[in-house]
């Protein structure tokens, strides 16, 4: 079981909750969320996500991750303009935040 902020994920039963309310996720949405929450606080690269979630070492589409990420954020109620759960680290990847982020969703890190 993963619990970060107010999100809880049960990988065994493939169930997710936000603030105690169950969230229905597709198979890929769940896999994407699990790949991020399992490494909460760390940047996960797009290459790692393609490998871990889509079992691909090549890009099937440049928008594959973005589309699924948008659906996950919407279902979790994470504001795409000021996300507090999953932030985009420009040029590096995505990070599931362990607390409220100090920077906006298009943060740049050295």
What is the second-level CATH architecture of the domain 2-107?
Orthogonal Bundle (1.10)
Q: pTM of the prediction?
A: 0.87
DSSP result, the chain: -EEETTEEEETTTTEEEETTEEE---HHHHHHHHHHHTTTTSEE-HHHHHHHHH--SS-S-TTHHHHHHHHHHHHHT--SSS-SSEEEETTTEEEE-SS--SS-TEE---
How many Å apart are CA 110 and CA 108, to the nearest integer? Answer: 7
pLDDT of residue 80: 84
pLDDT of residue 63: 85
- Spans of the chain, pLDDT less than 70: 59-62, 100-110
């Amino acid at each position: 079981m993963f619990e970060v902020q107010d999100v809880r994920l049960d990988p065994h039963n493939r169930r997710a909750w936000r603030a105690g309310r169950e969230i229905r996720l597709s198979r890929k949405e769940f896999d994407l969320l699990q790949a991020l929450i399992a490494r909460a606080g760390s940047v996960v690269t797009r290459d790692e996500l393609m490998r871990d979630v889509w079992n691909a070492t090549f890009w099937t589409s440049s928008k594959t991750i973005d589309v699924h990420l948008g659906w996950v954020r919407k279902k979790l109620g994470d504001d795409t303009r000021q996300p507090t759960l999953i932030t985009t680290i420009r040029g590096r990847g995505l990070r599931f935040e362990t607390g409220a982020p100090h920077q906006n969703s298009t943060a740049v890190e050295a």
